[in-house]
A and B are shown apart, each in its own frame.
Chain A
Amino acid sequence: MNTMAEKTVTIRNKLGLHARAASMFVKEAERYACEVEMEKAGVRVNAKSIMGILMLAAPFGSTLKIIAKGPNDEECVTALARLVEVGFEEEA
């Protein structure tokens, strides 16, 4: 049975998805065994790839879609979405 989970999020921290934030995001994604992808404006990359995430160059206010497939996909999407929504725990 193939399950899939997805969620659309908005970048809330002023600096956008910068290098350190991207690195936090990838580390979190790597904790899950499922396949995770992230999409911005029709471009979809592997969310476990720092190169992929950095390439998206997502600024403050941009919307991203997180898509996961496989074991614990719901949990994975929720955790990653939370990380983005709290602005990577940076001060606003």
Chain B
Amino acid sequence: MPATGSVTLKRLLDNADLSLTIENLDEETLEKRELKDNRVQVVGLSIAGFTDHLYRERVQLFGKSETDYLTTLTEEERRAKIESFLERRPVAVIFTDPVRPTDLFREIATRCEVPLLSTRMTSSIFIDFIKDHLNRLLAATSTLHAQLIDVFGVGMLIMGESGVGKSETSLDLVMRGHKLIADDVVEVRYIPPDHLVGTCNEMMRDLIEIRGIGLINVQRMFGVTAVGREKQIDCVINLVLWDQSSTFEYERIGSTVRYYEILGVKRPYYIIPVRHGSNLSSLMEVIARDHMLKTQGINIAEEFEKKLEMKLSEMGGK
């Protein structure tokens, strides 16, 4: 799934981590320029006139090799090469340390209305930084009605209809030493290639709503280790009220794995029937432990089925 958002160049400029400086045009213009592609491109051969593979919607990185190449040319050739590159109007050109745009480059870029920026980082370091930032800023996002709890390091997204006991389960898990990320509203962001990161809206951070009590600040009440800012979502739980008449078949062996899809990414999905008096926090801990075993390649249902099959074939042979 590709990134779907957009970000203005002004926002990149304002991001102190990227240590960017504006080299031409003004901040107002950068506010209007939007970036939609999370990939970046090293200018490379495009400056030598081979622009077939120049993706103008990607940020172009201009470093020492491009600069050194330009110095080998006569002034006339140099102007022609820069023009043929900038006339393709890339969304932005960023100069990496120690390179800065020459007056000639600046003049042509301003005429072509191509924004030039420079960073104090060297290209090898900057490329990782900007990719990470663009992935974050341009990530596809979704707001889910669920809880997000870190149970033994496993990110559990707990869903279920209103009144099924999601918040009470979260509170119980916090009291057992687990961490609350978000109660009732989880903001999920997709990070390529297949990560889902959930966080809490800043407004509701550290809060849980418990019917009959109201809002509880988990951090104030239970301490700084009882909460977390963000967490990867590892599995999805759906709590449903147990209904004897329902024809829905709950998993009994554990050999069929269901998946739940969020922003195009699938996660193991458990549908848990809830009865009055169910000890949900224990169940959540068991799911987390089972998930940890599975990630280590230990699948209890599979192991058991093999053992049973062996026994059955032995007995059938007699």
Contact = CB atoms under 8 A, between A and B. Distances in A.
Contacts of B207: 51
Nearest to B211: A50
B204 A46 contact: no
B183 A45 contact: no
Contacts of B204: 51, 54-55
A24 B100 CA distance: 59
A49 B143 contact: no
B183 A51 contact: yes
Contacts of A43: 143
Interface string A51-71: 110110100000000000000
B106 interface: no
Given A45-B143, A46-B162, A52 B203 contact: no
Given A45-B143, A45-B145, A46-B145, A57 B162 contact: no
Q: How large is the interface on A (under 10, 10 to 19, 20 to 34, 35 or more residues)?
A: 10 to 19
Interface string A25-39: 000001000000000
B184 interface: yes
A57 B203 contact: yes
A1 B209 CA distance: 34
A47 B25 CA distance: 45
Contacts of A18: none
A52 B162 contact: no
A3 B183 CA distance: 29
Given A46-B162, A51-B185, A57-B203, 17 more contacts: A44-B143, A45-B143, A45-B145, A46-B145, A46-B184, A49-B145, A49-B184, A49-B185, A51-B183, A51-B184, A51-B209, A52-B145, A52-B184, A52-B185, A54-B204, A55-B185, A55-B203
15 contacts: A30-B162, A43-B143, A44-B143, A45-B185, A49-B145, A49-B162, A49-B184, A49-B209, A51-B183, A51-B184, A52-B145, A52-B185, A55-B185, A55-B204, A57-B203
